[in-house]
Amino acid sequence: MSSSVVVTTWSLEQTSPADLVPAPAPEGDGLRIVRAEVPSPEFSRFLYASVGGDIRWTDRLGWSHARWREHLEQPGVETWVAHDRGTPAGYVELEPQDDGVVEIVYFGLIPAFRGRRIGGHLLSYGAARAWDLAERWAARPPTKRVWLHTCSLDGEHAMANYQRRGFTLFDTKVEEAPDVPAPGPWPGAYPDTPR
């Protein structure tokens, strides 16, 4: 018999670029945020599994290479990656929807990079790219709304980070979900305590 867990999901939004409250960049000059412009299922799966492995991101683990490619090649889907001195530290994935709506589908940091003031800056940058998405995709209408969701399984600082960046709550759902163990960054391996 499988066990379950109660999960609260909060949906938050910005309805104007003026809602965005940027976080300052971390001190030092080693952080760069760049768009992964070449669709790469391998790289995107690496980011997904590495960021979400300890917080139960499992929805995409079963995706085939073809499914990843199909998703990444959709016009307007963008992956923005934070690099700390050349090493991927986290990412933001944007997905345009109908009527000028852009969802921040995934956002987060690889565990070793959490707690270093990268998250607020990366979220600020990703939200700004959601607001100016139409400038890079001529067929897309101007962005009118940016939204995302977070849940009680995400990192303990996620909700506060979103609210500090100017996102406001518009929906809350409480559901029972299967109690799936955190898979870690790859099958058969789970990181030990951070060094």
Residue 53's alpha-carbon distances to 45, 61, 183, in angstroms, are 11, 10, 5
At residue 55, what is the residue type?
Answer: I
pLDDT band at 187 (very low <50, low <70, confident <90, very high): low
- Which residue, among 73, 80, 170, 71, has the nearest Cα to 133 in the 3D structure? 80
Tell me the pLDDT band of 178, cut-offs 50, 70 and 90: confident
pLDDT tops 70 at residue 3: yes
83's tokens:
């690099």
**For the chain, which domains are there?**
4-22+31-178 (3.40.630.30)
The CA radius of gyration of the chain, in Å to the nearest whole number, is: 16
- Please list, residue by residue across 156-189, b when 16 or more beta carbons sit within 10 angstroms of its beta carbon and e when fewer do: eebbebbeebbbeeeeeeeeeeeeeeebebeeee
Task: Identify the band that residue 166 occupies on the pLDDT scale cut at 50, 70 and 90.
Answer: very high
Can you tell me the distance from the alpha carbon of 7 to that of 1, in angstroms, rounded to the nearest whole number? 19
pTM: 0.91
